[in-house]
Structure 1
Amino acid sequence: MNILILGATGFIGSVVAARLAADGHAVTGLGRNPGRAQLKQPAIGWLQADLSHMTKPEDWDELLEGQHVVVNCAGALQDGLSDDLAATQTDAILALFAAAKRSRPLIVQISARTAGPAGDLPFLATKRRADEALAASGLPHLILRPALVLGRNAHGGSSLIRALAAFPLMLPLTHAESPVETLSVDDVAEAVSRAVAGNLRGDVVLAADEALTLADLVRLHRQWLGLPPVRVIALASWLAKPVTWLADVAGLLGWRSPLRSTAMTVMSEGVRRAKAEGALPATSAAATLAANPSGVQDLWFARLYLLKPLVIVGLSAFWLLSGLIPLLVPAQASTHFLPFMPEAAATALTIITCLIDIALGAAVLVRPLAKRALLGMLAISLAYLAGGTLLEPALWLDPLGPLVKVLPSILLTLTALATLDER
Structure 2
Amino acid sequence: MQKAIVLGGYGLIGAASMRALRRAGFTVTGIGRSTSAALQSDPSADWLIRDIPAITIDEWRIHLAGVDVVVNASGALQDGARDDLTAIHVTALSRLTQAAAELPLRIVQISAAGVSAEASTAFFRSKAQGDAILCASALDWVVLRPTLVLAPDAYGGTALLRGASALPLLMPRIMPEAQVQTVYIGDLAEAVVAAAQGELPSRLICDLTEREARPFPELLQIIRCWQGWPAPRLHLRLPTPLITALGKAADVLGLLGWRSPLRSTALRALQDGITGNPDAWEDAGGRPCRSLAQTLALLPATRQERLFARSYFALPLAIATLALFWVFSGLITLFNPARAMAILSVRDVPNWTTNLSVFGGAVADLGLGFAILWRRWTRAAALGMLALSGAYLTGSLIVAPDLWADPLGPMLKVFPGMTLALMVWLMMEGR
Q: TM range, normalised to the smaller chain?
A: over 0.9
Amino acid at match of 2:416: P
Displacement after TM superposition at 1:42 (Å): 4.1
Once residues 153 and 224 of structure 1 are traced to their aligned partners in structure 2, the CA distance between those partners, rounded to angstroms, is 15
In the alignment, does 2:280 pair up with 1:273?
A: no
Aligned to 2:51: 50
Count of matched residue positions in the alignment of Structure 1 and Structure 2: 422
Amino acid at match of 1:18: R
Aligned to 2:375: 367
Aligned to 1:196: 196
Aligned to 1:78: 78
SS of the aligned residue for 1:277 comes to helix
Displacement after TM superposition at 1:240 (Å): 0.9
In the alignment, does 2:386 pair up with 1:378?
A: yes
CA contact (8 A) 2:178 2:271 kept: yes
Amino acid at match of 2:179: P
Query: Which stretches in structure 1 are left out of the alignment for 5+ residues?
Result: none
Aligned to 1:205: 207
Once residues 117 and 232 of structure 1 are traced to their aligned partners in structure 2, the CA distance between those partners, rounded to angstroms, is 37
Distance 1:40 1:133, change over 3 A: closer
Amino acid at match of 1:220: I
In the alignment, does 2:291 pair up with 1:284?
A: yes
Aligned to 1:327: 334
Amino acid at match of 1:181: Q
CA contact (8 A) 2:37 2:430 kept: no
Amino acid at match of 1:241: T
Residues 238-317 of structure 1: matches in 2 within 5 Å?
238-279=241-282, 280=286, 281-317=288-324
CA contact (8 A) 1:326 1:333 kept: yes
Residues 120-269 of structure 1: matches in 2 within 5 Å?
120-200=120-200, 201=202, 202-230=204-232, 232-269=235-272
Amino acid at match of 1:240: I
| More displaced 10-residue stretch of structure 1: 110-119 or 255-264 | 110-119
CA deviation string 1:199-242 (max 9, x = no partner) = 11311110011122112211111111111223544333222122
Once residues 331 and 88 of structure 2 are traced to their aligned partners in structure 1, the CA distance between those partners, rounded to angstroms, is 40
CA contact (8 A) 1:331 1:347 kept: no
Distance 1:118 1:171, change over 3 A: farther
SS of the aligned residue for 1:60 comes to helix
Displacement after TM superposition at 1:273 (Å): 1.2
Once residues 247 and 37 of structure 2 are traced to their aligned partners in structure 1, the CA distance between those partners, rounded to angstroms, is 31
Once residues 104 and 32 of structure 1 are traced to their aligned partners in structure 2, the CA distance between those partners, rounded to angstroms, is 27
SS of the aligned residue for 1:95 comes to helix
Amino acid at match of 2:78: Q
Amino acid at match of 2:253: A
Once residues 42 and 394 of structure 1 are traced to their aligned partners in structure 2, the CA distance between those partners, rounded to angstroms, is 51
Once residues 59 and 396 of structure 2 are traced to their aligned partners in structure 1, the CA distance between those partners, rounded to angstroms, is 55
Displacement after TM superposition at 1:177 (Å): 3.3
SS of the aligned residue for 1:112 comes to coil
SS of the aligned residue for 1:154 comes to coil
Distance 1:138 1:5, change over 3 A: closer
Once residues 23 and 161 of structure 2 are traced to their aligned partners in structure 1, the CA distance between those partners, rounded to angstroms, is 30
Once residues 356 and 392 of structure 2 are traced to their aligned partners in structure 1, the CA distance between those partners, rounded to angstroms, is 17
TM-score (normalised: structure 2): 0.93
Aligned to 2:119: 119
Amino acid at match of 1:147: T
Once residues 417 and 3 of structure 2 are traced to their aligned partners in structure 1, the CA distance between those partners, rounded to angstroms, is 50
Distance 1:144 1:40, change over 3 A: closer
Displacement after TM superposition at 1:43 (Å): 4.2
CA deviation string 1:338-390 (max 9, x = no partner) = 34543244123311111011011011111111111111111111111122123
Once residues 237 and 354 of structure 2 are traced to their aligned partners in structure 1, the CA distance between those partners, rounded to angstroms, is 56
Once residues 330 and 124 of structure 1 are traced to their aligned partners in structure 2, the CA distance between those partners, rounded to angstroms, is 53
CA deviation string 1:74-105 (max 9, x = no partner) = 11111111211111111111111111124242
Distance 1:274 1:238, change over 3 A: farther
Query: Which stretches in structure 2 are left out of the alignment for 5+ residues?
Result: none
SS of the aligned residue for 1:71 comes to strand
Once residues 276 and 98 of structure 1 are traced to their aligned partners in structure 2, the CA distance between those partners, rounded to angstroms, is 31
Displacement after TM superposition at 1:299 (Å): 1.0
Distance 1:213 1:235, change over 3 A: same
Identity %: 38
Once residues 259 and 70 of structure 2 are traced to their aligned partners in structure 1, the CA distance between those partners, rounded to angstroms, is 26
Aligned to 1:403: 411
CA deviation string 1:266-321 (max 9, x = no partner) = 11111011454334411111111111211111111111112221111111011101
CA contact (8 A) 2:123 2:265 kept: yes
Once residues 264 and 334 of structure 1 are traced to their aligned partners in structure 2, the CA distance between those partners, rounded to angstroms, is 49
TM-score (normalised: structure 1): 0.95
Displacement after TM superposition at 1:328 (Å): 0.9
Once residues 115 and 194 of structure 1 are traced to their aligned partners in structure 2, the CA distance between those partners, rounded to angstroms, is 23
Aligned to 1:30: 31
In the alignment, does 2:16 pair up with 1:15?
A: yes
